[in-house]
Amino acid sequence: MKVEFRFFLAAGAAIFLSAAAVPAAAQDGPVQLISAATSPGAEDFRMREFEQALDAAYASGDFVGLSVAVVKGGETRFLKSWGVVEAGGAAKVTPSTVFRIGSLSKGFASSLAGLAMNEGLLSPTDLAVEFAPGLKLTGGAEKSLQLGHVLSHQTGLPPNAYDNLLEANIPVAEIYPKYRNVKPICGVGKCYSYQNILYDIAGLAASSAYGMPYAAALRARIFAPLGMVTASADEAGLAASGDFARPHVRDRVKGGGEEDYGPWRSVTVKPAYYRIPAAGGVNASILDMAAWLKAQMGYAPQTLPIATLDLIHAPRTMSPAETARIRSVSPRFHAAQYAFGWRLYNYEGAQVIAHAGTVEGYAAQIAWLPAQDAGIVLLSNARSKRLWRILPTFLDLELGLAREDWLGLDAPATSVAGGG
């Protein structure tokens, strides 16, 4: 099955209810606010109302710093930052402030690999052991594991296999042979199961194809051509930016309820996922990510040709576990699939291409509606449920659907991992 990508500007519009008018929730779950109302030409008004909703979400206390960009028709139509780079500090988050983007990094790895595939330097059928010769799977299954399987999370391993060893600072090269002791949940290429460590094989493949370190290849083929001047793919790059958001966590209140948390506190940047940069090592500002979103939407064909986008955005496998997870954010999501480094959803009949990412103290999300030619990027230096509710709020707005209070502006929001 192949996805066909054409870009049209949506003619419909919808009025979003002001956050100040949100009624108190009478029951669990989203509260319907108003019916959708069409009003062609009201985009500026909708963006103002969207901004009011974001302002109210930030005022809830569930963020330390937040940056949001909306792209339509190849142009940045909305760009705003809230909060501070570190709790208790005076330095404000600006559009140039750099965040870690967690698993949004996978889209960079798949794009770089996709470029190499279109240039004849790599193939989806290349064996993973060509790039990670120390890899061993139960029963010698590594002999059938292809690069395309890695890119679409079809390794057969249980989800997030051995991430705990990575976080315990075990060298990646020592982890690869340990997979021979992990019982698979299916055969190679037979089911979806999200991975981090093995996904870095995509970066090893791209590095091999271009004859340079992965971070250098990203800089040469993607960051520099797209003008992503503050983007990087290592811990040194984060510090060198000079303006980066510190990571934050908060603790449950002892003896309190499920929703009771203490204040946000900054923590030290954890280096583990920088050791698998293709899976979780990219740093970027909202300005960088707006440029990245435009490229993924087809507006930088000189850097990311349409043939590459078609290759990496084509659905490869159903992901029922992700369908269940994303429907806890909004039941309007259906039929989650995975491509090469990207998730595909049906949102009430509309196709959405997206990815979320977290690493301790940070959360990020990118998504767009190909048919409506509209997309959004979110960056935060704290993780809470409310961040993930911004996307369905945006999608409802763009698709003219009946408004729902996904943001729960009258209810507390807990700190959550959010998914990758």
**53 and 156 co-located in one domain:** no
**177 and 296 co-located in one domain:** no
**198 and 63 co-located in one domain:** no
Residue 217, in any domain of the structure: no
**263 and 339 co-located in one domain:** yes
**142 and 185 co-located in one domain:** yes
Is residue 51 within 8 A of residue 69, CB to CB? The reply is no
Residue 404, in any domain of the structure: no
**193 and 243 co-located in one domain:** no
**189 and 297 co-located in one domain:** no
The helix or strand, by DSSP H or E, that contains position 83, with its residue range, turns out to be strand 75-83
Compute φ and ψ for 322, nearest 5 degrees: -70, -35
Residue 5, in any domain of the structure: no
Residues found in the chain = 420
User: Which residues are 70's β-sheet partners?
Assistant: 78, 376
**393 and 254 co-located in one domain:** yes
Q: What is the pLDDT of residue 27?
A: 31
Supply 234's token pair.
């290592």
**270 and 364 co-located in one domain:** yes
**297 and 392 co-located in one domain:** yes
Residue 2, in any domain of the structure: no
pTM to 2 decimals? 0.88
Residue 3, in any domain of the structure: no
Of 56, 8, 100, 16, the closest CA to residue 392 belongs to: 16
Counting the structural domains of the chain, the total is 2
Tell me how far apart the alpha carbons of residues 217 and 21 are, in angstroms, rounded to a whole number. Answer: 49
Residue 219, in any domain of the structure: no
Full domain range(s) for residue 49: 19-113+228-399
Tokens 């659905």 belong to 315
Is residue 45 within 8 A of residue 263, CB to CB? The reply is no
Q: What is the pLDDT of residue 399?
A: 94
**98 and 128 co-located in one domain:** no
Residue 218, in any domain of the structure: no
Kindly report the CATH number assigned to the domain that includes residue 359.
3.40.710.10
Tell me how far apart the alpha carbons of residues 377 and 136 are, in angstroms, rounded to a whole number. Answer: 37
Residue 419, in any domain of the structure: no
CB-based contacts of 30: which residues, under 8 Å, 6+ apart? 330, 404, 405, 406, 408
Compute φ and ψ for 397, nearest 5 degrees: -60, -50
**137 and 165 co-located in one domain:** yes
Residue 120 burial (CB count, 10 A): 8
The whole-number mean pLDDT for each consecutive block of 10 residues of the chain, a chain of 420 residues, reads 29 27 31 38 77 94 96 96 96 97 98 98 98 98 98 98 98 98 97 98 98 98 98 96 95 73 92 98 98 98 98 97 94 96 97 97 98 98 94 94 88 55
